[in-house]
Amino acid sequence: MARAVIIGAGPAGLMAADVVSAAGHSVLVAEAKPSVGRKLLMAGKSGLNLTKDEPFDAFLSHYAEAAPFLRPILAEFGPEQVQDWARSLGQEVFTGSSGRVFPVAMKASPLLRAWLHRLEAQGVHLRTRWRWTGGLTTPQFDTPDGVQTLHPDVVILACGGGSWARLGSDGTWAQHLPNDCAPFQPANMGFLVDWSPHMQPHFGAPVKNVILQAGPTQIRAEFVLSRRGVEGGGIYAVSRALRDGAPLTLDLLPDLDTETIRKRLATNPKQSLSNRLRKLLRDPVKQALVMEFARPLPPDPAPLLKSLTIPVTAPYPLDEAISTAGGLRLSSLTDDLQLKSHPGLYAAGEMLDWEAPTGGYLLTACLATGKWAGASAARRLSASSF
């Protein structure tokens, strides 16, 4: 019988299994889907962003109100340790110009294969199509061989958040812990915009070299116009503030101040204002945005080019979000990620109620909390062996 049962075979669950099995304890990992690491593999399709190479306090600040709780966890397994971990699996890494760290192979599949080989060598038993149906310290599962009830010494939950149900993160686990969970909300998601028909030719086009502002959050980045609204890295970076009701504004000419814009628009006064704007912006997508949301143009359009409001309406649905806010409240956990109400039951990964932007922060915290919960569970198992 496995002494530790881990529910969920994403990054957090596999990391917990790695730590517990390396400590010499028997481990069974139960995964509801037919294969493991599905969301990790999906993330790797566009280049697996493992972490962000930046000073620790700057890195930690991206976790907002969860930063004090996560500080010791990320201090033990942060950006530097994530890179060492990837190298230990034979995957060299490199740091891009933005500080984002990627495996040289870019994809997740080589890293995942090497990781699974290591877990197999450490005796980890992996079961797929095992769906957790209830029971906290004595979990029950629907399996291809019928209902299974296990009686481990410790259980680690690594069930993911509430987005991307087809990849395994459907949030249904929350029904088993109703008193300990905050409602799920979408995070790192796009937003709906009521476009006029004139914008249709620009759907799919990137909006480059702009500063996006929403509440206190400001970032120089790019994003994409879609049939339904706006999405992409720049939008994801300000999505929390947008979700909380802040307006979205764009600085379309971040390298020019208002007075310089005003002077440039004053040249060739015989030309129409729209023609002067076209020549100044030199980007049909930016020009289309101005015409969509700033007509009739004021006599002095320079200020609006530095702060054009994009009227977003609502976030994309929860299941289309890259990640989620909400989940298992940190106040329900001890410092070692054990549920206060259920000794021997630990939790890790995106199912915990922390939120972070894309750019390596999500994956790092999933790995770090998985390692922390695994180490805590291993200590409990070792202590109970004597």
d(CA 299, CA 282): 20
pLDDT, one tens digit per residue, over 21-60 is 999 999 999 999 999 999 999 988 889 999 999 999 999 9
Distance from first CA to last CA of the chain, Å, rounded?
Answer: 18
Query: Where are the chain's structural domains?
Result: 4-186+320-384, 191-315
Task: Encode pLDDT of 212-231 as tens digits.
Answer: 999 999 999 999 999 999 99
Residue 318 near residue 163 (C-beta atoms within 8 A): yes
Neighbouring residues of 160: CB distance < 8 A, sequence distance ≥ 6:
8, 10, 39, 168, 169, 170, 171, 349, 350, 351
What is the pLDDT at residue 386? 56
pLDDT at 381: 97
**pLDDT score, position 384:** 86
d(CA 166, CA 153): 31
For residue 178, whether the previous peptide bond is cis, meaning omega lies within 30 degrees of 0, is no
d(CA 36, CA 325): 23
The two tokens of residue 129 are 């199509």
Residue 224 and residue 222: Cα distance in Å, rounded? 7
- Mean pLDDT on 166-177: 93
Given a cut of 90, is residue 2 above it in pLDDT? no
Residue 17 has what pLDDT?
A: 98
> What is the value of pTM for the model shown?
0.94
State mean pLDDT over 127-145: 97
Q: Round the average pLDDT of the chain to a whole number and report it.
A: 96
- pLDDT of 1 reads 62
CA distance 151 to 139: 7
Domain 4-186+320-384 indexed as CATH 3.50.50.60: yes
For residues 358-381, give the mean pLDDT.
97
pLDDT for the residue 31: 98
Nearest to 212 by CA among 77, 306, 290: 306
